[in-house]
Amino acid sequence: MSLLFLILFAVNSDKVVEVRYIKEAPVIDGVIEEIWSIADSATNFIQILPYEKESPTERTVVYLMQDEDNLYVAFCAYTEKYKCVSCLGGREDYVTLFLDTFGSRNTAYYFTVNSSGQTNLESDGLILDDGRRRDDTWDGIWYQGVKLYDNYYIVEIKIPFKSIRYKKGLSKWGVNFRRYILKNNEQDCWTDVDAINMDIVSEFGTLKGISPKVTGYHFELFPEGFVRYVKHGNEEGIVEILPSLNFKWDFTSEGTVNATVNPDFAQIEADPFALNLSRYPVYLEERRPFFLEGNEIFRFSNFEQGSDFYSPLNIFYSRKIGKSVDGEPVPILGGLKLTSRTKNWNFGLLGVYTDSLKEELSRGYSVARLKHRILESSEIGMLFSSSMANRDNYNYALGVDGAYLSGLKQLILQGAMSNRNGKRGWAFSSGYYSFTRNYMSIAVFEAMSDSFDVSDIGFVPWVGLKRFLLITGPYRNYQRGFVRRITVAPLFSARQEPGGSNWSKVGGFFINTRFRNGWGFYLEVDAGCRYEADTNYFYRAVNISVWGCAEKYTTNFGSYYGYEYNYHRGFVAYQGNNWLSFNYTPIPRISLILNGNMWVEWDTLNTIIAVTPGLTPRIKVNLSRSTELSIFDEFVVETSGFDLGQADLVSNRIGLLFSWNFRPKSWIYIALNDYRVVNECGNLELENQIGAIKVNYLLYF
């Protein structure tokens, strides 16, 4: 049966489905009406996981139609062997629609619908770099309806053409469909894709006959109001009542303008605590909506697979805008952003102006980005970023980049020059990644001058660093058995630290094993001579992580221990970090979450001098499909030595977040954060206390 399926699939490798035009719109409620009988359908899915290129255990049929304003998609997911798992707030069955609306073979939208119909910010987004990266920050206006039956479930999707960008006049889009069956951890796709990269856009099928008829374009207006109470230490608490205004205008089917005036860009939840023992600062993810939308244009390419081994030149880092000064964000007075995306060109302009705060001067920020697609799914581009307070206080950088993408191969080349207050510098970064004929290879080379400086606009803190890395070794896929894939690869790295003249040379190997039940582990062992901070020593380290999932939980835990330079203490010694992430849903609607780290530090005599555990238990309650309540308590303690019974509390943060998505892209947030640190007398003392009520309401035309 499987052989026959593969023969039939090979004959129909270029899959095509047609969009039929209708005048009467279906109701989006999970019920298939008579109007769907005229629709063309996509069938003959192929299993990707856990048994690659075999026929699925359950049948899936997808129907497509359109009218002048909307695209309609209906999934009929049969459940004859495995009962559908529908668990609001937990793991469950789902389906995903992918649309390459420019025929780019590189970038696509995705729309995911869970079997419970739950809505969240991760339900839609963009596939980038031919499936190598996902960006879930795109938030579109679309509609869904789900209904469960005895032997199948129905998912209906309505996507207004106004809410997505597409190439005008293009009658063929790239398309793919995916279905996830939780009971046996199964992934089924309409087209034959590799299990290593199931999002690969260049392997999509064809959606023909698509013809949007809309004559107007999408306009979104976001009036916002927020009430915030802020108290720092023993100071008197302040109540702020401030309005703000944001708008988005898709002035063509390919171009978008975003603007913001007096936005509330304070973080609703604070960044998690991290004890940093390294030389370099911690990279923090962007969370603010104005900077998130369209941010895929304002960045250099990166690896998805092997991304821990490579660091792109981030000459624009949006967290520098409105940064925190003594725990208070620099006010942003306004911002304007223009983005345009076509089949072969991506273009972006960004301008933001910030107010002064304490010693921080008011500044103007500007960013310009241009990318051009070449060779099917590859691209070249330029990026300019700048910050200016006055004629004597400025920072700008100009960079060029190229990314060659072909199948499971990727080559990245990046170069940049900077000027900060008259100090000029340069930087270069390159990386190669491939899976070819059961062989995996990663190669990285980075070099930058000591004078390269983008500290006001970017995140490249390792100025003066020179680094070379080579990893190559076999990997093996198994069609049957408990092990699904295993990779074993030796590695070699050489690096010259900033300000040093000697080269560190380290060798090692790693083993990456993935099992068919969704579990896996990673083990890396390294050793070699290092030169840093005017110190020569023999470096050795071991890194192991384990991850897995089941119907009601997901987990990730591991440890890193190494003999290296401790920049927190200023000497060479052993240090380690143990981490745990665990998410358990005992019953629908309620999730119990635990995130934790435990840092261990030794002295030069191999005696443990400090253990710093940090734990954040959290309970999340999904009150409905669109309403969520989350309560957490982050506490950090420290011991002298390894006696955890004598641990001293360092800090404690209690937080609450209530969110209600009461209509498309319209939210009510209620947030409370109370952060306290231990003073010299050993008592918890208030550091800051923040309470906020925020409402943003979407008006769209």
Q: pLDDT tens digits for 271-281?
A: 778 888 888 88
Are residues 548 and 558 in contact, defined by beta-carbon separation less than 8 angstroms? no
pLDDT value of position 265: 56
pLDDT band for 4, please (50, 70, 90 cuts): very low
Of 227, 156, 197, 88, residue with least CA distance to 622: 88
Phi, then psi, of 318 in degrees rounded to 5: -65, -20
161-198 confidence digits (pLDDT tens): 988 888 888 999 999 999 999 999 999 999 998 888 88
pLDDT band for 632, please (50, 70, 90 cuts): very high
**Distance in angstroms (rounded) separating the CA atoms of residues 106 and 12:** 22
pLDDT band for 135, please (50, 70, 90 cuts): confident
pLDDT at 117 over 60: yes
The CA angle 101-103-105, to the nearest 5 degrees, is 115
Token pair for 684: 């918890």
487-497 confidence digits (pLDDT tens): 999 999 999 98
pLDDT at 506 over 90: yes
Of 465, 458, 471, 392, residue with least CA distance to 431: 471
Q: How do 684-696 and 219-232 pair as beta strands? A: antiparallel
**Distance in angstroms (rounded) separating the CA atoms of residues 223 and 246:** 6
Alpha-helical segments (H) within 583-654: none
Are residues 673 and 654 in contact, defined by beta-carbon separation less than 8 angstroms? yes
pLDDT value of position 122: 67
Phi, then psi, of 589 in degrees rounded to 5: 90, -20
In the chain, list all ranges with CATH 2.60.40.1190: 2-208
Residue with tokens 């510098």: 425
Cα of first residue to Cα of last residue in the chain, in angstroms, is 52
Q: Is 118 helix (H, G, I), strand (E, B) or coil?
A: coil
Average pLDDT, rounded, for the chain? 89
Of 110, 106, 143, 142, residue with least CA distance to 126: 110
pLDDT value of position 288: 77
Token pair for 353: 């102006």
Token pair for 325: 């000064």
**Distance in angstroms (rounded) separating the CA atoms of residues 313 and 433:** 17
- Dihedral of CA atoms 45, 51, 55, 58 in degrees, nearest 10, equals -70
440-454, 619-633, 635-649: the lowest-pLDDT one: 635-649
320-376 confidence digits (pLDDT tens): 998 878 767 888 899 999 999 887 888 999 999 999 988 889 999 999 999 998 887
81-90, 215-224, 373-382, 615-624: the lowest-pLDDT one: 215-224
Q: How do 627-638 and 238-249 pair as beta strands? A: unpaired
What is the mean pLDDT of the segment spanning 152-167? 92
55-69, 215-229, 530-544: the lowest-pLDDT one: 215-229
321-330, 437-446, 456-465: the lowest-pLDDT one: 321-330
Instruction: Say which CATH class 2-208 falls into.
Output: mainly beta
Q: What share of the chain is helix, strand, coil (3-state, %, to 5)?
A: 5, 60, 35
Percent over 70 (pLDDT), the chain = 95
What is the mean pLDDT of the segment spanning 671-688? 86
Burial string for 12-50 (b: 16+ CB within 10 Å, else e) reads eeebebebeebeeebebebebeebbeebbebebbbbbbb
**Distance in angstroms (rounded) separating the CA atoms of residues 101 and 176:** 12
pLDDT value of position 303: 74
pLDDT band for 12, please (50, 70, 90 cuts): very low
pLDDT value of position 299: 86
pLDDT at 3 over 60: no
- Higher confidence at residue 412 or residue 235? 412
Token pair for 55: 């026929």
pLDDT at 304 over 70: no
**Distance in angstroms (rounded) separating the CA atoms of residues 239 and 243:** 13
Q: What is the helix (H) or strand (E) element at residue 3, kind and residue range?
A: helix 2-11
Q: Is 304 helix (H, G, I), strand (E, B) or coil?
A: coil
CB atoms within 10 A of CB 517: 14
Are residues 40 and 19 in contact, defined by beta-carbon separation less than 8 angstroms? yes
Percent over 90 (pLDDT), the chain = 59
pLDDT value of position 148: 96
**Distance in angstroms (rounded) separating the CA atoms of residues 299 and 350:** 12
What is the mean pLDDT of the segment spanning 575-589? 96
pLDDT at 551 over 60: yes
pLDDT value of position 225: 73
Q: Which amino acid is at 690?
A: I
Are residues 65 and 20 in contact, defined by beta-carbon separation less than 8 angstroms? yes
Are residues 386 and 395 in contact, defined by beta-carbon separation less than 8 angstroms? yes
pLDDT value of position 236: 79
pLDDT value of position 293: 76
